[in-house]
Amino acid sequence: MSTDLHLSPQASLPDLASTPPASAPKLASKPSTSRRIRLEKNSATSRPANPTARGSVAIWLATLAWLSGAAITAFWPDADEWPHGDVLIGIQIAVALGCALLGAVALRRSRTNVVYQAGLEAPSRLTRWLGLGPWFVALAIGIAFWEIATAKLEWLPRPFFAPPQALIGVYLEDFPRLGSSIVHSLGLLIYGYVLGAATGFVVGVGIGWSRAVGYWLHPVLRLVGPLPATAWLPLAFFFFPSSFSASVFLIALATAFPVAVLTWSGVASVDSAYYDIARTLGAKPAFLIFKVAIPAALPLVFVGLFMGLGVSFSVLIVAEMMGVKAGLGWYLQWAQGWAAYSNMYAALLVMALMCSGLITLLFRFRDRLLVWQKGTLKW
């Protein structure tokens, strides 16, 4: 016995008015007040911190540190009489006022609610100065400790160690002799460095490009290059007519080796596809050297120039100590002979600043010439 179930047409059809289709979008309900507050807190915490507000704290600490150092210098009596203490106090107060001014500008900038989006805007000059706040603090503490250990308590014995005001006295009283030494060293360094860099560059390009040139120069480079330039001092002062020309030769020799090796490596490592494409377009050998090989090798060439500058500076000091009658090396030897250790420390500080400044200038030149590599290597 079978029963048939009969449905009416009205029952079999879906009720379109009451049942929405599955693909119909659902309207988002308005978030509640508590959920909206949580979202605002999360967005506030995920916002990058303003470096202006963060760096102003360190710069105000630097202001306090420099003022404290000035107070130590002024009100703590010296164990022995040291001149130019008032100049040191003036410098410390001036640096403190500069830090305070920088902090006031940063505070005003932070109160204007300037939005800083990390990664989208380059740091401003103010932000870069504020980033040096911890270094200002460390420098103030270091000078204060130096003052205490030498002038106030004499933990470091005289005359081998001198307080900061003794170096200030050297710069004020012995500047003519020190200034002439700086000028002489700069001239000698520029002569030797430029000559050695040019020679090393030409040798490196020749070895990297031509097998015939490499056949003759590569063994000479392997034999002479690793020898310290100072080992050639006796021969240089014997064969050259003056100590100045001998020093130029030694500086050039020290510079040429790293420049030649790294230029050779840069030219030899250029992708052969560059040459093939240029030859397909009808390029001649001169075009391949000056427009393909050398531009592609420039990053390594500058590495060799940086290395050569550091080595040449050390050879400069040794050469001036041995035979030159002027320069920073001669000044160091003269100060040591007269036990003028304040003069020696003042010359060492000048040498450090001069070498760092020259390397900074070379980096600026590199960033301007190699724009596509700007920022990859910083100094």
> What pLDDT score does 39 carry?
45
- On the question of pLDDT at 268 being above 70, the answer is yes
Confidence class for position 7, pLDDT limits 50, 70, 90: very low
Beta strands in the chain (DSSP E): none
- For 16-72, write each residue's pLDDT tens digit: 344 444 444 444 445 555 555 454 445 444 444 555 666 688 999 999 999 999 999
The per-residue pLDDT for 125 is 81
Q: How confident is the model at residue 138 (pLDDT cuts 50, 70, 90)?
A: very high
pLDDT of residue 179: 94
Q: Is 298 helix (H, G, I), strand (E, B) or coil?
A: helix
pLDDT value of position 312: 93
Chain-centroid distance, C-alpha 61: 25
Q: Greater confidence, 30 or 148?
A: 148
333, exposed or middle or buried, with CB in 10 Å at 0-12, 13-18, 19+? middle
pLDDT for 346 beyond 90: yes
Residue found by looking up tokens 């050879």 in the block: 315
pLDDT at position 161: 92
As given in the structure block, the two tokens for residue 9 are: 């047409």
Q: What's the rounded mean pLDDT across residues 221-226?
A: 90
Structure confidence at residue 375 as a pLDDT band (50, 70, 90): low
Q: Tokens in use for 135?
A: 């270094």
Tell me the residue type at 127: T
Residues whose CB is less than 8 angstroms from the CB of residue 300 and which lie 6 or more positions away in sequence, other chains included = 262, 263, 265, 266, 269
Q: How far apart are CA 144 and CA 112, in angstroms?
A: 36
Q: Is the pLDDT of residue 355 over 80?
A: yes
Place of tokens 């990297």: 208
Integer Cα distance of 233 and 321 in angstroms: 11
Tell me what pLDDT residue 38 has: 53
pLDDT band at 342 (very low <50, low <70, confident <90, very high): very high
CA distance 326 to 320: 7
- Decide if pLDDT at 292 tops 90: yes
pLDDT digits (tens, 9 = 90+) for 191-215: 999 999 999 999 999 999 999 999 9
Mean pLDDT over each residue of the chain, to the nearest integer: 83
pLDDT-based confidence at residue 172 (cuts at 50, 70, 90): very high
Closest CA to 315 of 263, 254, 359, 358: 254
d(CA 156, CA 341): 13
Reported as a pLDDT band with limits 50, 70 and 90, residue 319 is: confident
* pLDDT cut 90: percent of the chain above it: 58
pLDDT, position 157? 86
Q: In whole angstroms, what is the distance from residue 162 CA to residue 349 CA?
A: 13
Report the phi/psi class of residue 263: left, alpha or beta, with left for phi > 0 and alpha for psi in -120 to 50.
alpha
Q: What is the pLDDT of residue 139?
A: 96
Instruction: Say whether pLDDT at 101 is over 60.
Output: yes
Summarised one tens digit per residue, pLDDT across range 105-134 is 888 877 665 544 444 444 578 888 888 999
State pTM to two decimals.
0.78
Tokens in use for 83? Answer: 């001149």
